[in-house]
Structure 1
Amino acid sequence: MLKIQDLHAYYGKSHVLRGVNMHVERGEIVSLLGRNGVGRSTLCKAVMGLIPPVGHVQFDDKILSGLQPHEVAHAGIGYVPEDRAIFPGLSVLQNLELGMKRKGLTGDKWTLDKVYEWFPRLKEREHTPAEVLSGGEQQMLSTFRALMGDPQCMLVDEPTEGLAPKIVDDVAAILKQMAADGLAVLLVEQKLSIALDVADRVYIMGDGDIVFEGTPEELQEHPEIRKEWLEV
């Protein structure tokens, strides 16, 4: 289980996260919703150690607070950032190989063969530089690269932004497969349709803190919450 308690984070003097408390269980997809700029991506970066977290972050019995990003990754946390962060000059295959924890080895659940089965287009472009891939292909590459490390928890930040509907469906299917494989999945997503469709539970963030926790069904029963914290 990923457990976050009283988490604060800063950019310089700007206090972005203000005491966030949340948890994600194994085999569960949790969607983190909110308007742009409320701190959702910052939370992922704080968990990964990309910005200094102030507070408690734990996955199972491992304390993540204060670890370097590579140490967080080796503790079992996979991360798909909003900007995808692929290596543009490297091939599709080289990007995937960089996701493996040890050179030449894959995890038990996600192998090159399974990746290519899920998204054959990556197999077709195996030796193509990542920089010439389409947006959807780059998103899939970033997602599968994280899975090649055989994580036990995945942080996935805005995976459907700018993608065609078919690729959005593919992303949703992969998220559900992650949970079926027993991963804890934290999804930061702007599109309510996919966020509510795949989620077991939902958190809404506003002003750097959690303002709602519940199931998608419970959120649907409170249109005033959606209006106050999600609608533009």
Structure 2
Amino acid sequence: MLKIQDLNAFYGKSHVLRGVNMTVERGEVVSLLGRNGVGRSTLCKAVMGLVAPVGHVEFDGKTISGMAPHDIAHAGIGYVPEDRAIFPGLSVLQNLELGMKKKGQTGEKWTLEKVYEWFPRLKEREHTPAEVLSGGEQQMLSMFRALMGDPQCILVDEPTEGLAPKVVADVAAILQQMAKDGLAVLLVEQKLSIALDIADRIYIMGEGEIVFEGTPEDLRNNPEIRKEWLEV
């Protein structure tokens, strides 16, 4: 579904991504782990065309590297950025409507009704400005807005940062439901626990490169890798 080959990215003269190779298939959650600053968020931005990619990014059999971000989104990739990027002055409903490919046209799998069923608090606050929502509510709004466009693949960057344990569990359940619905899910995460609990496969990035690939069980059984690339 999503295939990344020899992907490099730069900020000025700084070489951030160094020949990254990875895949995300339909119906699986792939977690990308690593310490802060190793390039995980840059990888998402490079896939979305927000940072110029050097290398090859293929989605559903078609090359998307070099395409404009809005064309990549219309091709079927959703993106939930680390800063959530909600529109604070717009209501919950208006933010969700912005996620639709056309106003009033929801996806086949994710509709307003399904969003409100999954997270009733958004229904209760439907006409509330997004800026007054709690951090957890804003995170849910950002995730569901991306789903309103009915993507086939979704990149979710640090969704549990700063959230209460109950909301973290809600986020994990939604990510698993996305995969059950056939989406390819790339989860950029700092918390090892959620990655081990819900991921089908795990990559670890260190210094702009993939330094580990395997299953959650492989990582559980490899304390040396955890110590070298994840533990503080």
TM-score, normalised to structure 1, is 0.99
The equivalent of 1:132 in structure 2 is 132
**Corresponding residue for residue 91 of structure 1:** 91
Match of 1:117 in 2: 117
Q: Which residue of 1 aligns with 2:144?
A: 144
Shift of 1:195: 1.0
Q: What is the CA deviation profile of residues 16-75 of structure 1, one whole-angstrom value per residue up to 9, with x for unaligned ones?
A: 000000000100100000000000000000000001000000111221100111001001
1:46 maps to which residue? Answer: 46
* Cα distance between partner residues in 2 of 1:119 and 1:186: 22
Q: Which residue of 1 aligns with 2:163?
A: 163
The whole-number CA distance in structure 2 between the counterparts of 1:174 and 1:116 is 13
Question: What amino acid is aligned across from residue 62 of structure 1 in structure 2?
Answer: K
Separation in structure 1 between the aligned mates of residue 222 and residue 129 of structure 2, nearest angstrom: 47
Distance 2:147 2:173 in 1: 14
CA distances 1:80-131 after superposition (whole Å, capped 9, x unpaired): 0000000000000000000000111100000000000000000000000000
Name the SS for the 2:100 alignment partner: coil
User: Any idea what the Cα deviations from partners look like across 1:141-165, whole Å, max 9, x if unmatched?
Assistant: 0000000000000000000000011
Instruction: Please give the alpha-carbon distance, in whole angstroms, between the structure 2 residues aligned to 1:167 and 1:222.
Output: 29
- Which position in structure 1 is the counterpart of 2:225? 225
For 1:193 and 1:213, the matched residues in 2 are separated by 17
When the two structures are superposed, what TM-score results if normalisation uses the length of structure 2?
A: 0.99
Structure 1 distance, partners of 2:62, 2:139, is 29
Structure 2: gaps (5+ residues)? none
* 8 Å contact from structure 1 (residues 62, 75) kept in 2: no
CA distance in 1, matches of 2:147, 2:104: 15
**Which stretches of structure 1, 4 residues or more, deviate above 6 A after TM superposition?**
none
Q: What stretches of structure 1 of length at least 5 have no aligned partner?
A: none
Aligned counterpart, 1:76: 76
Distance 2:63 2:144 in 1: 26
Q: Aligned residue for 2:6? A: 6
1:60 and 1:110 map into 2 onto residues whose CA distance is: 20
| Counterpart position of 1:25 | 25
CA distance in 1, matches of 2:163, 2:57: 32
The one-letter amino acid paired with 1:111 is T
Report the Cα offset of residue 228 of structure 1: 0.3
**CA distance in 1 between partners of 2:158 and 2:94 (Å):** 24
